[in-house]
Amino acid sequence: MRETVLDWLAVNVPSQRLQHVLRVEEMSVTLARHYGLCLSTAAQAGLMHDLAKFFKPQLLLEMALAEGLTLDPVDEINPHLLHADVGAIVARDRFGVEEEGILRAIANHTLGRPGMDALSCIVYLADTLEPGRGDTQTLNALRKMCFTDLTTAVYRTCDYTLSQLIEKQRPIHPRALATRNWFLQASRNAIQLSAGTLVPLS
């Protein structure tokens, strides 16, 4: 399967993007090993996360609508944001991936989703934080955090991404905000629970 996907990617994404994909695959496996998850599942999700990255906007919209996905106005303004959800469709229909965890991780890697499982968190983090993204103090701190607390790492990585979008005056998808808020609250509740104060997560 891996060689088949690599052959497909070599035709459908630029070589620079393929190198990013391989780094995401590697970081996903490293984090999966650290957290005791299935390595082959993490590798497959990481390798396939950008299958639809270079699909044309109209194709992304058409595939999303055909799948019955609910589109936000931000999706219609910037169809590129649909490449994660559409990538999961490609993984299922083109490569026969049936494992829901892999499909969810592919679909969630750009905007995240409230309540993501560990595999989705790992691929989300690997996509933003793989070594090719830069060598700043902020990025290195976030990479280190990935190995201590996935929940906090997700919301702080959301903060990093949102700050970049704000600086560039780009629209922010409501799902990205919902992801940030959910993981922020989950992180706070984890701290409260460790202190012996039970606060339900709403």
Instruction: Please say if the pLDDT value at position 196 is more than 70.
Output: no
Of 152, 131, 134, the C-alpha closest to 26 is 131
Residue 148 CB neighbour total at 10 angstroms: 9
* Amino acid at position 172, single letter: I
Question: What's residue 12's pLDDT?
Answer: 95
Cα gap 37→76, rounded to integer Å: 36
Q: Is residue 30 part of a domain?
A: yes
Q: How confident is the model at residue 195 (pLDDT cuts 50, 70, 90)?
A: low
The distance of Cα 67 from the centroid of its chain, to the nearest Å, equals 20
Q: How confident is the model at residue 21 (pLDDT cuts 50, 70, 90)?
A: very high
Q: Is residue 68 part of a domain?
A: yes
Look up residue 189 and give its two tokens.
């509740």
Q: Is residue 201 part of a domain?
A: no
For the whole model, what pTM was predicted? 0.93
CA distances from 10 to 47, 112, 148 (A): 12, 26, 35
Q: Is residue 31 part of a domain?
A: yes
Q: Is residue 199 part of a domain?
A: no
The residues near 86 (Cβ < 8 Å, ≥ 6 apart) are 52, 55, 60, 63, 64, 67
Residue 41 CB neighbour total at 10 angstroms: 17
Of 170, 142, 168, 164, the C-alpha closest to 155 is 142
Cα gap 159→146, rounded to integer Å: 14
| Contact predicate 120/104, CB 8 Å | yes
Q: Is residue 75 part of a domain?
A: yes
CATH of the domain at 91: 1.10.3210.10
**Alpha helices, H only, 36-149:** 39-48, 57-66, 73-77, 83-95, 100-107, 118-129, 137-146
Mean pLDDT value of segment 39-67: 98
Cα gap 95→48, rounded to integer Å: 10
Question: What's residue 98's pLDDT?
Answer: 96
Look up residue 96 and give its two tokens.
């026969």
Question: What's residue 89's pLDDT?
Answer: 98
| Contact predicate 142/153, CB 8 Å | yes
Total count of domains within the chain? 1
Q: Is residue 113 part of a domain?
A: yes
Kindly report, residue by residue over 127-172, the tens digit of the pLDDT: 999 999 999 999 999 999 999 999 999 999 999 999 999 999 999 9
Look up residue 15 and give its two tokens.
């070589």
Q: Is residue 171 part of a domain?
A: yes
Q: How confident is the model at residue 201 (pLDDT cuts 50, 70, 90)?
A: very low
Q: Which domain holds residue 158?
A: 2-194
